[in-house]
Amino acid sequence: MTLLTPVRAGVSLEALLTAKENRAARQADWLTHYHHPVISLTLVTPGAQKDSIRYRNTMGVALQACDQLLWQNHWPVLDRQVLWLPTGAEGLWCVDHAAAEIKAQCIELEQTHPLGRLWDFDVICPKNGQVGRQSLDLSTRRCLVCDEPAHGCARSRRHPMEEVVSRVETLIDGWFARD
């Protein structure tokens, strides 16, 4: 199922927090209903604008990459949902497979695909909760600008927002200009 909303300008912090709460509620509903791991995909979209043609195209590539990953590994998909929201696109899959292995493969996508740095795959296990990089002995994500740990740069606002957004746009434009 796919729900589509029109492309809009920036969104408020309140709208982002509400979207995050709604996403967590959908994830919890799926975990309760299916009793299998859930993949939740969002994009790294710095700044107030969370929905644009660039971001929609990037999400389309991410959705295709995840679908292909699941298909190649023959992992049964119990449900799939895509939401195109003003607060950013979201994808959900419920997969009948071990959460840790799903997370490891999703991290591989994030690290190897040219757009993967802009993808945020969360994997949630119905028994143990979210599977983090640390549980797989992997380092945290790196900053888009300076390659230091991303959470530190984001928290301290080390880089001007325009520079971070420009880096994201350069990654996206580079991918789509490759042909």
Separation of alpha carbons 137 and 149, rounded Å: 15
Separation of alpha carbons 3 and 22, rounded Å: 15
pLDDT, tens digit (0-9, with 9 covering 90-100), for 64-123: 999 999 999 999 999 999 999 999 999 999 999 999 999 999 999 999 999 999 999 999
Say which residue, 108 or 2, is predicted with more confidence.
108
- pTM for this structure? 0.87
Q: Is the pLDDT of residue 7 over 50?
A: no
pLDDT band, residue 11 (cuts 50/70/90): confident
Token pair recorded at residue 55? 């971001």
The CA-to-CA distance between both ends of the chain, in Å, stands at 30
